[in-house]
Amino acid sequence: MSLIDFAKNVGRHLGLGDHEQHQQAQAQPGAPQAAQPPAAQANQADQDRQKASALYGLMQQMGFKGDDLGVRVDGAKATLTGKVASQEIREKIVLLVGNSQGISQVDDQLQVSQPAPEATYYDVKPGDNLSKIAKQFYGDANKYHQIFEANRPMLKDPDEIYPGQKLRIPAEATVGARA
């Protein structure tokens, strides 16, 4: 259970239009939420509910299930609650939500039925590909498919990763990793 940082302006579009950009342009920089007029606060709360609903729908679309799964959004922070069957599912849900545009932090409060060692998260850099990442973590570029499989269904093609994206490197892959 932790707070995980993500790149806010990269990732999957939630299909909510450009309403967020318009609202941010109208907000005073540095002004605390409480200083906004009540209408702006209500508008932000409505937008947060829409984001949470879109993220929950995305989790369902990807086939992630659990008990009492929930997503709450507060600005650029998403909080995940509920219970899932495995550490792998937990980490995939965190990545799915965090690698969505407009989300810069995920507060992972998910519980796991079958605890297992946590994976390492890796931030994709310009020029990276799965083979290069596999070489770094496994010592063998040909093991890129293990990283690809560890990030399915979010990744549909091993050649379609982007800078700023966060990937899951399973715990067993990090043994003997080269930094």
Domain total in the chain: 2
**Chain-centroid distance, C-alpha 139:** 26
Cis before 153 (ω within 30): yes
Lowest mean pLDDT among 4-18, 138-152, 153-167: 4-18
Same domain, 145 and 169: yes
Same domain, 109 and 124: no
The set of residues, in sequence order, having a beta carbon less than 8 Å from that of 59 and lying 6+ positions away, is 69, 71, 93, 96, 97
Residue 122 pLDDT:
97
The alpha-carbon radius of gyration of the chain (Å, integer) is 17
Same domain, 154 and 69: no
Assigned domain for 20 exists: no
Rounded mean pLDDT of 70-85?
Answer: 97
Residues 83, 112: Cα–Cα separation, whole Å: 6
Last residue of a domain, one of 114, 131, 151: 114
Same domain, 108 and 85: yes
- Is residue 65 predicted with pLDDT exceeding 60? yes
**Residues spanned by the domain of 51:** 2-12+42-114
Last residue of a domain, one of 94, 114, 134: 114
pTM of this prediction exceeds 0.85: no
Rounded mean pLDDT of 88-96?
Answer: 96
Assigned domain for 147 exists: yes
**Phi-psi region for residue 64, left (φ > 0), alpha (ψ -120 to 50) or beta?**
beta
Assigned domain for 143 exists: yes
Same domain, 75 and 156: no
By the 8 A CB rule, do 158 and 130 touch?
yes
Same domain, 79 and 124: no
Last residue of a domain, one of 114, 136, 162: 114
Q: CATH code at 168?
A: 3.10.350.10
Same domain, 90 and 132: no
Rounded mean pLDDT of 8-15?
Answer: 82
**Quick one: CA dihedral 45, 46, 47, 51, positive or negative?**
positive
Beta strands at 105-108 and 2-5: parallel, antiparallel or unpaired: antiparallel
By the 8 A CB rule, do 130 and 144 touch?
yes
- Is residue 25 predicted with pLDDT exceeding 50? no
Residue 27 pLDDT:
41
Lowest mean pLDDT among 79-88, 104-113, 144-153, 170-179: 170-179
Assigned domain for 125 exists: yes
Q: Scan for tokens 């299909």, then name that residue.
A: 15
